[in-house]
């Protein structure tokens, strides 16, 4: 008896991720979960250099600013509640010092440019099609930073606007990195603060726009995180207590699919060695001086040395 409807996903035929790949991730909080997996398994990556970005226009702005090597100035930041903020970046960058905030933003711009230029894969996770336009400057923001809501207009981005934004991201990155692969997905997080119907409408705009851009011949791919969550994990036991965010089990489940589709067979072998070492490093023995434990530590060091000899970037 089958109690689930399962997605039929198979490994990509070309352009797989391995331990020589350089990955850049942009997008919603779900991209942070994927980045955490890449970090645990010691892949080379850069995740959300301006923090979590929920809608495509915010990601587009960061990419364009990085490629154009924009320099942030005092005109790009503002003071609120004794902290300096930037509408283009997440509140994790907010700082009591204006100078430190500007310095941090410009450092992230440089880092983003360097990673985009050398990236083999860019993973974009779109969270919502709802965006906030700052009335005073008539521009969309990445983060409102608790500025009073009356200073913004809330708008649902159209399919055409999202499509154009994604096309701009792809075009601009390929102007400095022609061979990069794009993997776009939709966050399975439910944005119910917008409303049940509004969340569905938002996700449908994102999905439709993404499929206007997806073309495997052009190295533009879609990964169905949203569909795995909604069609295969159709149960609230796979959500956190807020009933909005996937829990650890769901994230692990979606990661297994991502591995199956995008990680090369050779990299899987290395990944398993890395996992053995990571678990070994967390092991707490009953007797740290026993012969069995000392032999285990020697085995661990041998595996670490072997991996390090093959991939110098891996550090435990």
Is the same domain home to 185 and 292?
Answer: no
Token couple for 150: 């009356």
Quick one: pLDDT band at residue 287, thresholds 50, 70, 90? confident
1 pLDDT exceeds 80?
no
For tokens 């909604």, what's the residue? 230
What is the token pair recorded at 122? 């860019």
Instruction: Dump the DSSP string for 77-138.
Output: -EEETTEEE-TTS-GGG-BS-HHHHHHHHHHHHHHHHHHHHH-SEEEEEE--SEEEEETTTT
| CA atoms within a 13 Å half-sphere pointing along the CA-CB vector of 158 | 3
- Other C-beta atoms closer than 10 Å to the C-beta of 16 total 18
User: 119, 17 in Cβ contact below 8 A?
Assistant: no
- The answer to whether residue 78 is domain-embedded is yes
User: pLDDT digit string (tens) for 48-107?
Assistant: 999 999 999 999 999 999 999 999 999 999 999 999 999 999 999 999 999 999 999 999
Does 158 share its domain with 240?
A: yes
Task: Identify the domain boundary among 225, 244, 263.
Answer: 263
* pLDDT value at 272 more than 90: yes
Distance, in Å, from the CA atom of 87 to the CA atom of 36, rounded to the nearest integer, reads: 25
CB 307 within 8 A of CB 277: yes
Q: How many other C-beta atoms can be found within 10 angstroms of the C-beta atom of residue 9? A: 15
Name the residue range of residue 93's domain.
22-263
Residues 126-179 pLDDT 10s: 999 999 999 999 999 999 999 999 999 999 999 999 999 999 999 999 999 999
List, for residues 182-214, the tens digit of each pLDDT value. 999 999 999 999 999 999 999 999 999 999 999
Domain boundary among 263, 283, 302: 263
Choosing from 244, 263, 282, the residue where a domain stops is 263
Q: Exposed, middle or buried, 132 (CB in 10 Å: 0-12/13-18/19+)? A: buried
Residues 201, 247 within the same domain: yes
Nearest 10 degrees: Cα torsion 216, 59, 166, 234 = 60
* pLDDT surpasses 80 at 289: no
Does residue 82 form part of some domain? yes
Report the percentage of the chain scoring pLDDT > 70. Answer: 100
Res. 223: pLDDT tops 80: yes
Q: Say yes or no: 123 and 98 in one domain.
A: yes
Average pLDDT, the chain: 95
Asked whether residue 7 is assigned to any structural domain, the reply reads: no
123 and 94 both lie in a single domain: yes
Cβ–Cβ under 8 Å, residues 274 and 307: yes
- The radius of gyration of the chain's CA atoms, rounded to the nearest angstrom, is 21
Do residues 159 and 78 share a domain? yes
What per-residue confidence (pLDDT) applies to 244? Answer: 94
Distance CA(209)–CA(167), nearest Å, equals 10
Residue 65 lies in a domain: yes
Q: For residues 118 and 126, give the distance between their C-alpha atoms in angstroms, rounded to a whole number.
A: 23
Cα–Cα distance for residue pair 107/90, rounded to 1 Å: 15
Q: Given this model, what pLDDT does residue 5 score?
A: 84
Q: Confidence band (pLDDT; 50, 70, 90) for 251?
A: very high
Looking at the domain assignment, is residue 12 inside a domain? no
Q: How far is CA 153 from CA 57, 130, 144, 162, in A?
A: 15, 10, 11, 18
Element (H, E) at 24: strand 22-27
What percent of the chain clears pLDDT 90, i.e. is strictly above it? 91
Domain count, the chain: 2
Residues 6+ apart with CB under 8 A from 143: 51, 85, 87, 89, 90, 91
pLDDT score recorded for residue 4: 81
């Amino acid at each position: 008896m089958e109690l689930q409807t399962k997605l039929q996903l198979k490994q990509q035929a070309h352009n797989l991720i391995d331990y020589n790949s350089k990955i850049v991730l942009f997008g919603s909080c779900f991209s942070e979960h994927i980045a955490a997996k890449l970090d645990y398994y010691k892949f080379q990556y850069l995740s959300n250099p301006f923090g979590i970005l929920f809608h495509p226009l915010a990601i587009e702005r960061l990419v364009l600013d990085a490629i154009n090597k924009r320099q942030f100035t005092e005109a790009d930041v503002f003071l609120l509640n004794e902290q300096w903020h930037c509408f283009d970046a997440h509140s994790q960058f907010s700082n009591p010092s204006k100078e430190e905030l500007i310095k941090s933003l410009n450092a992230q711009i440089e880092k983003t440019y360097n990673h985009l230029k050398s990236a083999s894969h860019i993973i974009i996770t779109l969270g919502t099609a709802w965006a906030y336009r700052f009335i005073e400057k008539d521009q969309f923001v990445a983060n409102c930073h608790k500025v009073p809501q009356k200073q913004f207009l809330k708008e649902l981005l159209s399919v055409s606007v999202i499509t154009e934004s994604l096309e701009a991201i792809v075009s601009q990155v390929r102007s400095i990195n022609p061979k990069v692969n794009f993997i776009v997905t939709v966050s399975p997080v439910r944005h119910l603060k917008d409303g049940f119907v509004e969340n569905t409408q938002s996700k449908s705009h994102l999905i439709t726009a993404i499929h206007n851009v997806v073309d495997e011949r052009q190295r533009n791919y879609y990964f169905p995180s949203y569909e795995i969550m909604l069609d295969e994990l159709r149960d609230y036991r796979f959500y956190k207590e807020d009933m909005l965010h996937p829990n650890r089990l769901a994230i692990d489940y979606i990661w297994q699919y991502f591995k199956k589709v995008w990680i090369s067979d050779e990299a899987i072998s290395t990944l398993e060695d890395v996992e053995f070492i990571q678990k070994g490093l967390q092991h707490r023995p009953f007797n740290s001086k026993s012969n069995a434990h000392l032999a285990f530590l020697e085995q661990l060091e041998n595996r670490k040395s072997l991996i390090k000899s093959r991939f110098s970037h891996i550090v435990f």
